[in-house]
Structure formats: C-alpha cells, structure tokens
Amino acid sequence: MDFAIKVGTSDKQRGACVVAGIFESRKMSETAKILDKATEGYIKNILASGDMEGKANTSLLLHNVPNTQFKRILLIGLGKEQEFKEKTFLSAIGSILNTLQKTAVTDVTLSLPDFPLKQKNSDWKVTQTAIAVSTSLYRFDQLKSKPDNDRSQLRKVVLCINDRAELPGCENALQQGLAIAKGMNLTKDLGNQAPNICTPTYLAKQAKDLAKTHKLKATVLEEKDMEKLGMGSLLAVARGSDQPAKLIVLEYQGLTKKDNPVVLVGKGVTFDTGGISLKPAAEMDEMKFDMSGAASVLGAMLATAELKLPINLIGIIPATENMPSGKATKPGDVVTSMSGQTIEILNTDAEGRLILCDALTYAERYNPKLVIDIATLTGACVIALGNFTTGLLSNDEQLAQELIAAGEQAVDKAWQLPLGDDYQELLKSNFADIANIGGRAAGTITAACFLSRFTKKYRWAHLDIAGTAWKSGKDKGSTGRPVPLLMQFLISQAK
C-alpha cells in the first residue's frame, strides 16, 4: 500500500475516487462544497433527492460526475458536526474502506480537515488512518488452498492537509502508523496460526528470524537451561506436553548499554487445554490465542525496530503448551519458582501466572526501568470489562496513568483495577508460600496479586488482554491488540 500526504484541497488532485464528507441535515464539508461548486450544484442536487442525509456510517458512491478529475466521488456520512469525536472519525474511515473494498477503486483521496476533531491534530488522524487501512486489508489465508477472493483493489491513499507547517509531523505520524500496523499484522499472523504449527519452537524461530532482519539480539533458553535457573513454576506447566518449552529473549538497543531498558513480558501458551483441570470442549479451539501476549511482544519489538526508537527494549516470552498427560502437573502439586517462593497449584488451568512469574523473576537481571507483562490471563477480565477494554493493574500509580493515557491516545483503552493487600489474603495456602488461585471472586485482581509477589524489585504493570486479544464468532481472529497501546507508550517513553 502506498501513502502520500499532500498540501492543499483534495479537488486539486486527480485519481479514481475522492471522499467528500456530509454531516446530518445534509450540511457539506469543505471538500463537498468545493466539489459542488466545480460541478455546478451536482452534489447539492443529490442531497436534495434524499439519497444521502449525512447520518454516520452511511455512504453513497457517485460515478462520472462532470467537471471533476476523479472517476468517482464517495459521499460519506459524518453524523452531527457538534458530536464528531474520535470514535466517529474511526467509524467514518472504516465506512470508507468497507465501501471501496467492494469496488475496483485503486486509489482514494481524502482531506483530513473535513473531519473536525478539536482534540486531535492531523498527526493523529494520519496515524489512525494508516492503521485502519492496514486493518481493512489484512487477511489470514495462508492455510487455505486458494486465497480469499474478497481482496481490495485499493493500492494508494492520498491524505490532504491545509497547512504546510504540519507536513513534517504528518510524515512522521505516517511512519509511526505504518510501523504499528506492521507490528499488529505480525501479532495477528502469530495468533491466527494453527496451534499444530505455532508451537513454542515455532515462536522461537519467529523471534530468531525477526532478530536477523531487524538487528536484534535473540536468545532462546531450553528446558535444561530453565532447570539450572530453577524455573520450576514454568516447567511445571510444560510437563504434560511433548512440545519442549522455550524462554525467548529479544533485545533492542536504541540507547547506550548503561540506559535501563523497558522490559515486556508476554504470556506464550501456544495451546491451553487447561491441563488436568481440563477446559470444556466448546470454543477450546480459541485457546490457540493464549499466546497473544507473546505475539504482541514480538509485534511491539518489530514496530520499535522499524521506527528505530531511542530506547532500550527487551522482550521476554515464556512459551509452552498446557496439556494433560501422565506427566502433567496435578492439582495439589507444590512447585518452587525461580524466586524461591513455593506455589501450591490448585488449578492447572491457572497456568499463565505460573509461567509469567518465572519470566518476571528472570527480568530482574536486566535492571529494568520498568516491566510490563501482557497476558490473556483471566476469563474474569472478560466478565468485568467485556471485549472492549484491557484490564490494567500496577504497583506504580504513575506507570498505570501513563499506560491509560497511551491507551486513550491510541484508541486501545485500558481500565485500572485495584491491587490491594485485602486481595492478597485470598492467595493463602496451608502447604506452600502461595496458592495459584484465590477463588472465583475478583479473579482478575487475585491473578495480578499473584504476579505482584514476583515484581518487588521494579516498577511493574500487568495488562490482562483476555477480552481484547481476539474476536469470536463470524469475525473470529486476532485483533493485534494491545500493540497500539504498547507502541504509544514506548513512543512517549522514547521522547
């Protein structure tokens, strides 16, 4: 996909299609007014006919309009002008792309000032448009004998701005949007891949390939290495699988070695049956997405390297399957984590925290500036926040607020839940230092409380993406989240 940013009104361009916004009550955007004048009232007559009223997410494609340099004009409904917000902008861009996807249009031109966002400048619109276009074009059909036949013909997007002073910022914003989209696509590809293909060994190979193409340092620890380090908690989850566990480490250096790194830790359970605490059969196929945290770490590493951010970044991925077998860990087993803390495993389906805790302890050796773990950790988070918002818990309030702000900016929102001593009481065990579950109540919080026992030596935040990492139903597939949130946070940190 080619993008171009031009200074001036869109009517000065030429191509296959130009977009003109229409607000409710048939009020025309500036582009629509200019096109209407050039066509001697053609658009005004269309609006008078009642075919387009300007309601949000409506569209009307006009062909062969006289006195224009475009083969088509796409009228897009923008709703009420005084209520136009970020969500309306994203919906409008989505409607444009959905409409054009059903046509033979190869290029489209739109004017960003047509979208009146008081709180967001052109930079933001450029970034979001680049991500939206990539999302619209994304397909995962690698495993099909024939590619999907609904691929768009769109090959170029021209974005017009009025002020030449905005051009450098918009060009930078475009590069950010394209890098984030690339990271999201990698995350989606890994999440959507079949679990018989996407094993811990496969994830390790993807990390090594990424390191080769983007000059990263890749290290893969095998089970024997983890045994020497005392990672009894991680290995307890891997015990039931024939696939060997891996601890994958990627290092990106954008600053000097003395600068403390940001560390991302991603849960990489490439398939989760629940182990001996077996899950119900319904929708178990979606447990291939249980490595979405790991996939988002790889996506963020890719986007960071693409942008050459001035930051030191480390990605740590504990990767394993969680399978039932004669060797599998049983409810009631007690294991010793790398930190030396003992854990009573009351439910083998609460396995994500068991692999993360050893990875979080391993992160200490990098003397991190801060650590963020990303995990499809609890069904309780889906109950609490649905499929719209990522759960956030942290031992540092400033870090939590920075992540919330990044999510707001990236339209990839997170919501903070409490992390208090009262909840820690629910993890008491009669037979070990800590139990791996705390009962049904406050399941997302007690899972984070468990992880917090292993994060005493640094600033830490936990992102529970169980509700946001993938979609079910007819649109089943990875969303690429929370790569936008992570990248906005990292870009802010780099500044």
User: What superfamily does domain 180-494 belong to in CATH?
Assistant: Zn peptidases (3.40.630.10)
Q: Hey, is 226 helix, strand or coil?
A: helix
What single-letter amino acid sits at 463? L
Q: What is the pLDDT of residues 239-289, one digit of tens each?
A: 999 999 999 999 999 999 999 999 999 999 999 999 999 999 999 999 999
Find out whether 180 and 126 touch, Cβ atoms under 8 Å: no
Structural domain boundaries in the chain: 2-162, 180-494
188 is annotated as an active-site residue: no
CA distance linking residue 374 with residue 446, whole number of Å: 16
Q: Pinpoint the alpha helices (H) of 141-248.
A: 167-192, 200-214, 223-229, 232-238
How high is the pLDDT of residue 152?
85
The token pair that represents 358 in the structure block: 């050893």
Q: Dihedrals φ, ψ of 20, to 5°?
A: -130, 125
74: burial class by Cβ within 10 Å (0-12, 13-18, 19+)? Answer: buried
| From 71, 188, 353, 413, active-site residue | 353
> For residue 9, what pLDDT is reported?
84
**pLDDT digits over 294-348, tens only?**
999 999 999 999 999 999 999 999 999 999 999 999 999 999 999 999 999 999 9
Asked if 2-162 and 180-494 have one fold, the answer is no
In tens, the pLDDT along 3-18 reads 999 999 877 788 999 9
Q: Note the pLDDT tens digit of each residue in 343-386.
A: 999 999 999 999 999 999 999 999 999 999 999 999 999 999 99
What pLDDT score was predicted for residue 137?
Answer: 93
What percent of the chain is modeled with pLDDT above 90?
95
CA distances from 334 to 192, 276, 344, 348, 361 (A): 34, 15, 4, 11, 18
For 47, the token pair is: 């609006």
Is pLDDT of 220 > 80?
yes
End-to-end CA, the chain: 28
**What are the pLDDT digits (tens) for 131-178?**
999 999 999 999 999 887 777 899 999 999 999 999 999 999 999 999
Share of the chain above pLDDT 70, in %: 100
Instruction: Name the residue type at position 424.
Output: Q
Peptide bond into 484 cis (omega under 30): no
Tokens of residue 467, six digits? 């509700």
Angle, CA 467 vertex, CA 463 and CA 471 arms, to 5°: 130
| Residue (of 175, 150, 159) closest to 125 by Cα position | 159
Task: Judge whether residue 59 has pLDDT over 90.
Answer: yes
Give which of 166, 219, 195 is closest to 5, Cα–Cα: 166
Helical H runs in 320-396?
352-362, 379-385
Chain centre to alpha carbon of residue 111: 27
What is the structure's pLDDT at 151? 77
Coil, strand, or helix at residue 418? coil
- Tens digits of per-residue pLDDT, 175-211? 999 999 999 999 999 999 999 999 999 999 999 999 9
Does the active-site annotation cover 279? Answer: yes
The H or E element spanning position 84 is: none
Amino acid sitting at position 171: E
Taking CA 355 as the corner, what is the angle to CA 353 and CA 357, rounded to the nearest 5 degrees? Answer: 65
CA 493 – CA 495 distance, rounded (Å): 5
Contact 493, 433 (CB under 8 A): no
Mean pLDDT for all residues in the chain: 96
Q: What is the pLDDT of residue 391?
A: 98
Please check whether the domain covering 2-162 is classified as CATH 3.40.220.10.
Answer: yes
251 sits in which H/E element: strand 246-253
Which residues contact residue 303 at a Cβ distance below 8 angstroms, ignoring those fewer than 6 apart? 179, 180, 182, 183, 483, 487
Model confidence, pTM? 0.96
Q: Report the C-alpha gap between 13 and 110 in whole angstroms.
A: 10
pLDDT category at 25 given cuts 50, 70, 90 is confident
Partners of 20 in the beta sheet? Answer: 75
Helix (H) or strand (E) holding 336: strand 334-336
Per-residue pLDDT for 475 more than 80? Answer: yes
Confidence of residue 414 (pLDDT cuts 50, 70, 90): very high
pLDDT of residue 430: 98
CA–CA separation, 12 vs 33, rounded Å? Answer: 14
Q: What is the pLDDT of residue 149?
A: 75
Residue among 279, 308, 330, 471 flagged as catalytic:
279
